[in-house]
Each structure stands twice: as structure tokens, then as C-alpha cells.
A and B are shown apart, each in its own frame.
Chain A
Amino acid sequence: AQTIHQWPVAEIKAVGSPLSLGCTIKGKSSPNLYWYWQATGGTLQQLFYSITVGQVESVVQLNLSASRPKDDQFILSTEKLLLSHSGFYLCAWSLRGSGNTLYFGEGSRLIVV
């Protein structure tokens, strides 16, 4: 069975500090991978998606970057956090031909102070 794991579960970081969030998917070969951001009680905003290793498409510009160093790994990062980066970050996967049916990880909650 496929599993998706995100790390860390939660972080409190200072403005201007770097950030790295990760996710790993096991049990699926060559999935599409996504990063979403959600403000508390808000909608899901797609940040990035990747259909293959080394290829990442940016959907919105939020001073964040993403990389896919391995088929089963997706990394979200920034060198300088802003207060506006606070929120819930969700990694998700889908398979080609599934109509982009997304399955989310448990999420990483970020508070920037």
C-alpha cells in the first residue's frame, strides 16, 4: 500500500530564517507530486507540482522553491522566511490518468514569528 510521510510535523521559526519541508511517498512508482499551502480555515493553494524527477513547475510566487531529487521525494524550501509563510503545508500525490486525484500527507504546520 502507498504511504506518504511529511516532515517535520510542526515548526516555529523566526522571520528571515531558512526552511526545509519534506515529503516521501512509498509504494507508488513515478507519481505526480504537489505542494499546497493553507491558511487557517482557508482554501488550498497549489504551490508547485512535479511529474518527474528533477522537473518542478511553479504555480504561484511566494518566495519558496521546490525540488524533486528522487522519484519518491519532494522538498519545499526557502532561504528567508516571511510572516506570510505561516500556515499548513500539504504534500500530495496523484497518478497519471487519475484525473489528478490527490492524496494528501498529514501536513506540516509552520508558525513564523
Chain B
Amino acid sequence: GDSVTQTEGLVTLTKGLPVMLNCTYQTTYSPFLFWYVQHLNEAPKLLLKSSTDNKRTEHQGFYATLHKSSSSFHLQKSSVQLSDSALYFCALSPITGNTGKLIFGLGTTLQVQP
């Protein structure tokens, strides 16, 4: 079946360092991949999305590239800030028509320290 795997539950970093949050997926369909960010006591917000193989997509300093050959969509940033501390979800939408199916990973908490 369709699934999303985020291997890190918690990532702790010092401000200014680079970060990569891992996301791999499994589906037999052509996928749409997403990253959502959720700050404490807030709703998730869309950060990035892509369905194009090997094309880098960027927003607010974060970037990710969908690699269909390795079924990956890792989230990266070159220099994290204190305000980046949040819960990050990778999500998969297998494109099979208007089914409303969106599968979220378990999430990775990013803690940025001064």
C-alpha cells in the first residue's frame, strides 16, 4: 500500500547549522509530495510541494527535490533559525483521480537551540 516514512522523530541543532529531514515514500502511482510545518499550538501549513522528478522546489529558505528513482523527498535548509523549531510532516498524494487521499508521515520535530 501507499506509505510515507520519516526516519527521525527528533532533530536537535544549533542555530546557523544546515539541516536535512528525511522522507521516503512508497506508491505504485504517480505521486505528489508535500512538506507541511506545524508550529506549537497551530495548524499545519504548506511549506513545499512537488510532482516533478529531479526538480528542486524552494520556499522560505527550505528546499526539496523529488527523486522518483529513490522514492525520496528530503527537506533541507542551509542555515536553521530559532523560528524553524516546529513539527515537520512529509505527505504523499498518489494521483489516482479525485480520491482525496493524502497520507502523512509520523512527523519530525526540529528543535533549534541558540
List B contacts of A29 (CB < 8 A): none
A27 close to B (CB within 8 Å): no
Chain A residues with CB below 8 A from B44, complex form: 44, 90, 104
Interface 9-mer from B15-23, B57-65, B77-85, B102-110: B102-110
Given the complex, which residues of B lie within 8 Å of A101, measured CB to CB?
Answer: 32, 34, 46, 49, 93
Most buried by A among B98, B101, B105, B107: B98
List the B side residues contacting A103 at CB < 8 Å: 46
Interface size on A, residues (CB 8 A): 24
Partner of B95, one of A32, A57, A99, A102: A99
Whether, in the assembled complex, B89 has its beta carbon less than 8 Å from a beta carbon of chain A, the answer is yes
- Once the chains bind, are A105 and B104 in contact (CB under 8 Å)? no
Say whether B114 faces chain A, with CB atoms less than 8 Å apart.
Answer: no
B-side contacts of A102, CB under 8 Å? 34, 36, 46, 91, 102
Q: Is the CB of B49 within 8 A of A99?
A: yes
Chain A, residue nearest B103 (CB): A46
Does B100 touch A at the CB level, under 8 Å?
yes
